Amino acid sequence: MPPPRRLARELAQLDGATVRIGGHLEDYRALGGVAFALVRDGSGTSQVTLKKGVSDPALFELLSSLPRESVVLVEGRVQLSQKSNRGVELLPTTVSVVSRSESPLPLGIIDKVPTELDTRLNHRVIDLRKPEVRGIFELRAHILAGLRSALASEGFLEVETPKLLRQGAEGGATLFAVDYFGEQAYLAQSPQLYKQMLISSGFERVFEIAPAFRAEPSDTVRHITEFTSLDAEMAFPDGAEAIRALLETVVLQALAHTRTALGPSASERLAAPSTPFPRIPFAEAAGWLGRSGPPRDLGADDEKRLAEVVQEKFGAPYYFLTEFPTSVKAKTFYAERQESDPSLTGYFDLYHRDLELASGGPREHRLDRLEANLRSAGLDPSGFASYLEAFRFGMPPHGGFGFGVDRLVKVLAGLPNIRESRLFPRDRYRLEP
């Protein structure tokens, strides 16, 4: 019976043991009477050392004939070695070829030659074999675990809502239409309406981490058409500030969880930011930018300039933009208008430098005002009958936020393009692989 398969990270504790390793043949080099094969698995790379006069000559011939990235199983004895960069090597007795790779590879795994992003995404399976690329998704997994843990500790219940809808949360032309057994339906751009309905159901704190779809014809480094959204909703919040404070806590706890999980390899981007995050009213930010006239939403250039001003004034990477004008959030019909000044909402955005990460605030829980907001947004309340029913039979005050997980990964991994934060990204030009 063959010995058990071991991972590269385990070998240093198995000196003298006979084991099997398995993975992709990353490289093979022959130097005089010694040859080295590097075999990569999900935990790292093992060095297989062949020595003339000691190792079976057939193994030299076999390994030298294999293209890079072929899959092999190697059985042999583990030996600690000061000459190996890894501090340990495997002296092989048998090598089995599981799967022979084609050659040449469409892109290099260990080569230092830079590869265009489109080429990497066209051959994503190969690209994902790179340890540095795999590291992005290990980071992502820890971030997701941290977000879940943070919300659970605050009493939130994780839920799942439909992704095939009769109408969108915000209307407009940013919906993907699909044929639903002869009827028109849409892919969900947000679980907003359903999480509000759950508040009416008595689920006082809910969250969801799920895919969302937005048919915006954007072609930027911060937009994709399929993305992962964290959405949270809570009943009886103590105003917009309570929702902001919750979001701030969730971010801090997720960062702390990820730092602990990654240990010394954690990047500076995971360092705990100073708190509280600055709160900047929209009108004040508009003044800093020298904007005049009717309020209008920020564009990319405005966001870059605002980030510079915030850095100068506060030295803070994370900050809230608060008190959005009602006119700017007109399509966000569920946004509650302030009682003292209906021209303002309690809505806010959370930024990291010039990148918007999250948006949220108190929702409108009164049916008559909600229907009026729908009409003001150019929408027919009759098309939202199921949603509005939740408000007819008792709806508590509530609020929450939506958070772009892919954007947070982009920030924390230091990625130039959001497409790199997803395993198989989708944008207006890419539908495969």
CB atoms under 10 Å from CB of 161, counted, come to 18
State the Cα–Cα distance between residues 263 and 192, nearest whole angstrom.
36
CB atoms under 10 Å from CB of 33, counted, come to 10
What's the start-to-end Cα distance of the chain, in Å? 40
State the Cα–Cα distance between residues 230 and 248, nearest whole angstrom.
14
Cβ distance 374 to 201 under 8 Å?
A: no
30 burial (CB, 10 Å; 0-12 / 13-18 / 19+) is middle
Question: What are the structure tokens assigned to 346, written together?
Answer: 């309690």
What is the Cα Rg of the chain in Å? 27
State the Cα–Cα distance between residues 165 and 184, nearest whole angstrom.
9
Closest CA to 387 of 413, 367, 406: 367
CB atoms under 10 Å from CB of 251, counted, come to 24
Closest CA to 119 of 136, 105, 137: 105
State the Cα–Cα distance between residues 88 and 13, nearest whole angstrom.
9
Reduced to 3 states (helix: H, G, I; strand: E, B; else coil), residue 120 is: helix
Question: What are the structure tokens assigned to 75, written together?
Answer: 């059985």
Q: What share of the chain is helix, strand, coil (3-state, %, to 5)?
A: 35, 30, 40
Tell me the catalytic residues.
214, 216, 222-223, 356, 359, 407
- E strands, 59-147, where? 71-80, 88-99
What kind and span of H or E run contains 117? helix 117-122
State the alpha helices, DSSP H only, in 377-418. 385-392, 405-413
State the alpha helices, DSSP H only, in 10-73. 57-65
